[in-house]
Amino acid sequence: MRLFLKDLCLFKTQSERACRHDRLHHLTRVALPGTLSWKVLEPCLGRVSGREWRPGARPPVSPPRGTCASVLARSLAAPGCMAHMFVYGTLKTGQPNHWVLLESAHGRAAFRGWGRTVEPYPLVIAGQCNIPRLLNLPGQGRRVAGEVYAVDEQMLRFLDEFEGCPDMYQRTRVTVAVEGEGGTLQCFVYSTATYPPEWVHLPYHDDYDSQGEHGLRYSPRESR
């Protein structure tokens, strides 16, 4: 009887390991190292595999070839898998669209701190609706202040749609110096890569406020 129970426990342990390995194999086959999808997935691999593993190190298994962003979105159901998002405009605390980060129906968003971009960028207020735009011109403009949030895949998908990505904004990467921590984070940010040439000559801002001294009041979506 003891021998039977020992064999049963061994079988259970081996089965659990196999399930974890199959789950990891499914996750890694949808993204290649160095791609945007892989950077979102990378921090989750240690938890899924059950091994001690640091982001940036060699993955626990070798990822097979091929990518698929749609499968990746479904696969990121692994508990605790979050991405950092840097917000600099109307999504900030006290600004007109901050409420979307507080709505649980949109997904999860947890405040991680205040910060500034390591590189300067042109932050302008443009268009008939006076919308803040971070022009994708690193090295030009000012170091932009904002807030860092950890968001789950559901919130990320919602924000993509809310921000009109990839048509109105493009979700890119930016390095943010986090206040009080003395370190930096790689964050997603909604920036603008295509714009009228005259936007480059608009006044640059470093800390957006819809009620600021610039006098350019943001036009809410419901009033457009």
Number of H helices, E strands in the chain: 6, 7
147 is annotated as an active-site residue = no
Q: Per the residue annotation, which of 103, 161, 163, 198 is the catalytic one?
A: 163
Which helix (H) or strand (E) element contains residue 176?
A: strand 170-178
Q: Which of 211, 216, 224 is nearest to 92 (CA)?
A: 211
What is the C-alpha to C-alpha distance for residues 45 and 84, in angstroms, rounded to an integer? 17
Q: CA neighbours within 13 Å on the CB side: how many for 2?
A: 0
Amino acid at 171: R
What is the C-alpha to C-alpha distance for residues 159 and 162, in angstroms, rounded to an integer? 5
| E strand segments, 71-144 | 83-87, 109-117, 123-126, 131-134
What is the C-alpha to C-alpha distance for residues 134 and 200, in angstroms, rounded to an integer? 10
Catalytic residues: 163
